[in-house]
Chains A and B, each alone.
Chain A
Amino acid sequence: MHLPRFEYFQPSTVEDAIHLLEIQKSGARLAAGGTDLYPRMKYGLTRPESIISLRDIPVTPPTLSQDGILNLDAFMPIKEVVNSRVILDNAPLLSEAAGRVASEEIRYMATLGGNLCQESRCLYYNQGHNFQFIEPCFKRGGDLCYFVPKGKKCLAVYMSDTAPALMCLNAKVNILGSGGEKQIPIEDIYSGDAKHPLELGPTEILSQINIAKLTGSAGWAYKKFSLRGGVEFAGVGVATVLQMGDGKKVCEQAGITVGAIAASPLRASNAESLLKGKEITDSLLKEAAKAAAEEIKVVPHHGYSTPYLQEILRVQTHRALGTAYERVGVVSQK
């Protein structure tokens, strides 16, 4: 398969990249690792006039500030996120989720920022459309959905593994743009609309990710459900954090976020508040998992039906909470 022709730019600083975006307007696309964009270009789903490659921009190694905030460069390859000692020690949930992204080769190529800024996907949209002479679907500018007949809106699903983990860790992202720099919670980069899942402006670049470190009495887990187990997008991805009190019995704060079930990762707030302030028992975790499966509205995707995904979501949430509880205190032992 061949890529369509495009103009190519390789800026060496983020500022130059933003300047190029300003000049090129909407015809330009940013390419970090390219593992999400180039397949879509090969399928003819998008045809940018120019590519602004971010590969030449130097990557700052992750740092831990004095007040316990972990600063990650968005241009860091996923594999470096997996291997980084400082991330493993301070945000092990992110290491675990990053290790489940795609395949070894793609983890070397793709970047953390690129993983967050990926397009939403569906079985119909993500294929070649050259042979089809029918009306385009929502995502290709039409007004119907082939995947769910009589569907009223686009039902593509956002598949990032790292996004639910970062959301669970209450990460904040820095957005650089022509108007300067701003820091927003990671939730705010999602529009909730599958046609355009990201709310980043045309001249904005996600440049940095900031995470408050996990303290000693916290447990975490990321569970990715997929049929093959490797090089596959998730059917459901659940990230959990349990922040425990001093006795390691009572849960002070819980985080449960779910990815790959809608146009953005979603937070199971009811399940979280169910756990807060309570002593953790297996029946409580079961109850929380049930609450999460009830409150999160699952979009059927990639051959999985809604009831199936709901049940999987309940089971995976229960497992993730169980693993998180088992790991409470592991961080401080290192």
Chain B
Amino acid sequence: MDHRKRVIELSINDEPYVLAVEPQQTLLEVLRDSLSLTGTKEGCGTGECGSCTVLLDGKPVLSCLMLAVECVNLDITTIEGVGSIERMAPIQEALLEKGGVQCGFCTPGMVLATTAMLNRNPKPSEGEIKRSLEGHLCRCTGYNKVIEAVEATIEKISDTHE
């Protein structure tokens, strides 16, 4: 084994991709540079800001610190796989309604982290919401509106289920 490229198969948003990557390429680089899935953002690149969050088998992870070669056989979900402009996910609508989006750079990470949290626990407390989103830095909205949006989503989901 050496530095050479290796061919891997990734499953991203339920679509298979076959591509050649070098071992030092992070999942973030592969998503953005090789596959043009630029919804995933690079903030700090060192695991401090959460804007590169993607879901691996439903678990939120930082794609800037995941080697792409380690993501084979895992279901990768990026922001492109959550809702669309015509049919937004409930959390995306709520973020718009509550003003939880300004520049939008942190939003993909926040949406994915919220999605993962709500899949695991549909009725989290405020403390649990804060704990789940603590790794996401936002320099515009000041977090309150984001948390309001998450709470509105929880209400919306529980209303539709009842």
Query: Which stretch of B66-74, B75-83, B90-98, B144-152 is in the interface?
Result: B66-74
Chain B residues near A7 (CB, 8 Å)?
Answer: 1-3, 23
Asked if A103 contacts B134 (CB within 8 A), the reply is yes
Chain A residues near B12 (CB, 8 Å)?
Answer: none
Query: Which stretch of A36-44, A175-183, A196-204, A302-310 is in the interface?
Result: A36-44
Assess whether A143 is interfacial by the CB under 8 Å rule.
Answer: no
Assess whether A124 is interfacial by the CB under 8 Å rule.
Answer: no
Asked if A105 contacts B61 (CB within 8 A), the reply is yes
Chain A residues near B117 (CB, 8 Å)?
Answer: 104
Asked if B64 contacts A35 (CB within 8 A), the reply is no
Asked if B46 contacts A3 (CB within 8 A), the reply is no
Asked if B135 contacts A1 (CB within 8 A), the reply is no
A39 and B131 contact, Cβ closer than 8 Å, known pairs A7-B2, A53-B67, A105-B53: no
Question: In the complex, which residues 1-47 of chain B have their Cβ closer than 8 Å to any Cβ of chain A?
Answer: 1-3, 22-26, 29, 42, 44-47
A108 and B23 contact, Cβ closer than 8 Å, known pairs A5-B3, A103-B134: no
A108 to B38 CA separation, bound complex (whole angstroms): 23
The number of chain A residues with a CB under 8 A from chain B is 32
A199 to chain B, nearest CB (A): 26
A109 to B135 CA separation, bound complex (whole angstroms): 13
A262 to chain B, nearest CB (A): 24
Q: Digit string of B121-159 for contact with A (CB within 8 Å is 1, else 0)?
A: 000000000111111110000000000000000000000
Chain A residues near B47 (CB, 8 Å)?
Answer: 35, 38-39, 102, 105-106
A231 and B60 contact, Cβ closer than 8 Å, known pairs A2-B29, A7-B2, A8-B67: no
Assess whether B113 is interfacial by the CB under 8 Å rule.
Answer: yes
A9 and B1 contact, Cβ closer than 8 Å, known pairs A35-B47, A38-B65, A104-B60: yes
Asked if A1 contacts B23 (CB within 8 A), the reply is no
A55 and B61 contact, Cβ closer than 8 Å, known pairs A105-B53, A106-B47, A231-B134: no
Asked if B132 contacts A4 (CB within 8 A), the reply is no
> Which of A9, A38, A105 is B50 in contact with, Cβ under 8 Å?
A105
> Which of B60, B134, B137 is A229 in contact with, Cβ under 8 Å?
B134
Q: Digit string of A1-33 for contact with B (CB within 8 Å is 1, else 0)?
A: 111111111100000000000000000000001
Q: A-B pairs with CB below 8 Å: how many?
A: 94
> Which of B2, B46, B67, B69 is A42 in contact with, Cβ under 8 Å?
B46
Asked if B50 contacts A109 (CB within 8 A), the reply is no
Assess whether A255 is interfacial by the CB under 8 Å rule.
Answer: no
Assess whether A275 is interfacial by the CB under 8 Å rule.
Answer: no
| Closest chain B residue, CB of each to CB of A7 | B2
Assess whether A51 is interfacial by the CB under 8 Å rule.
Answer: yes
A51 to B62 CA separation, bound complex (whole angstroms): 19
A106 to B2 CA separation, bound complex (whole angstroms): 28
| Closest chain A residue, CB of each to CB of B3 | A5
B53 to chain A, nearest CB (A): 6
Assess whether A92 is interfacial by the CB under 8 Å rule.
Answer: no
A26 to B50 CA separation, bound complex (whole angstroms): 32
Chain A residues near B130 (CB, 8 Å)?
Answer: 230
A103 to B61 CA separation, bound complex (whole angstroms): 10
> Which of B22, B29, B61, B135 is A230 in contact with, Cβ under 8 Å?
B135
Chain B residues near A10 (CB, 8 Å)?
Answer: 69-70
Asked if B135 contacts A106 (CB within 8 A), the reply is yes
> Which of B24, B50, B53, B60 is A5 in contact with, Cβ under 8 Å?
B24
Which of A51, A103, A109, A231 is the most central at the interface, judged by chain B CB atoms within 10 Å of its CB?
A103
A55 to B23 CA separation, bound complex (whole angstroms): 14
Which of B2, B44, B65 is the most central at the interface, judged by chain A CB atoms within 10 Å of its CB?
B65
Asked if B135 contacts A6 (CB within 8 A), the reply is no
A7 to B137 CA separation, bound complex (whole angstroms): 33
Assess whether A34 is interfacial by the CB under 8 Å rule.
Answer: yes
- Given A2-B29, A5-B3, A230-B131, 10 other A-B residues pairs in contact with their CB atoms under 8 A: A7-B1, A7-B2, A10-B70, A34-B66, A39-B46, A103-B136, A106-B135, A108-B60, A109-B62, A230-B134
* 10 closest Cβ pairs, A-B complex: A103-B135, A230-B134, A8-B23, A1-B45, A39-B46, A3-B24, A231-B135, A108-B59, A105-B62, A38-B65
